[in-house]
């Protein structure tokens, strides 16, 4: 931890409670082996909270005309749609790779057209 890591063509992710390479692969819809290959010096069986790893092949979240929102406990697309007064389907369309039934605390999504 504390080391600066390189992640060309991907994003740097900070490990949170409960994270595993498998759960991250599901969240980002990539192969778990791609995460392992991008992090050869990381033991997937002893991830540390606060440790930074590379998630390959994932671009920083684009969100033109909206805001990047970090999921908190209890958030749902429906509750966020009500909070930001937009249609829940607009959130789904802006986040096609996000499973609304499996939101992760700390996950970032796009809230489009925030007034």
Q: What is the pLDDT of residues 99-112, one digit of tens each?
A: 899 888 888 889 99
**Number of residues that make up the chain:** 115
* Domain residue extents for the chain: 10-56, 67-111
The fold of the 67-111 domain, in CATH, is Membrane-bound Lytic Murein Transglycosylase D; Chain A (3.10.350)
Structure tokens at 42: 């990381």
Q: Which residues pair with 68 in a beta bridge?
A: 110
* Distances from the Cα of 112 to the Cα of 65, 73, 103, angstroms: 6, 21, 17
Under CATH, what is the fold of the domain 10-56?
Membrane-bound Lytic Murein Transglycosylase D; Chain A (3.10.350)
Q: For residue 29, give Cα distances in angstroms to 17, 80, 105.
A: 20, 23, 17
Q: What is the pLDDT of residues 2-44, one digit of tens each?
A: 466 778 777 888 898 899 999 988 887 788 999 999 999 999 9
pTM: 0.53
Q: pLDDT, tens digit, for every residue of 76-104?
A: 999 999 999 999 999 999 988 788 998 88
**How far is the C-alpha of 70 from the C-alpha of 105, rounded, in Å?**
8
């Amino acid at each position: 931890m504390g080391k600066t890591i390189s992640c060309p063509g991907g994003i740097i992710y900070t490990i949170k409670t409960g994270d595993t390479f498998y759960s991250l692969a599901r969240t980002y819809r990539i192969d778990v082996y791609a995460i392992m290959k991008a992090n050869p010096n990381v033991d997937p069986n002893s991830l540390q909270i606060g440790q930074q790893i590379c998630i390959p092949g994932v671009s920083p979240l684009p969100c033109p005309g909206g805001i990047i929102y970090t999921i908190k406990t209890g958030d749902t697309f429906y509750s966020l749609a009500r909070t930001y007064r937009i249609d829940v389907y607009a959130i789904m369309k802006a986040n096609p790779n996000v499973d609304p039934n499996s939101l992760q605390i700390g996950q970032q999504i796009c809230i489009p057209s925030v007034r």
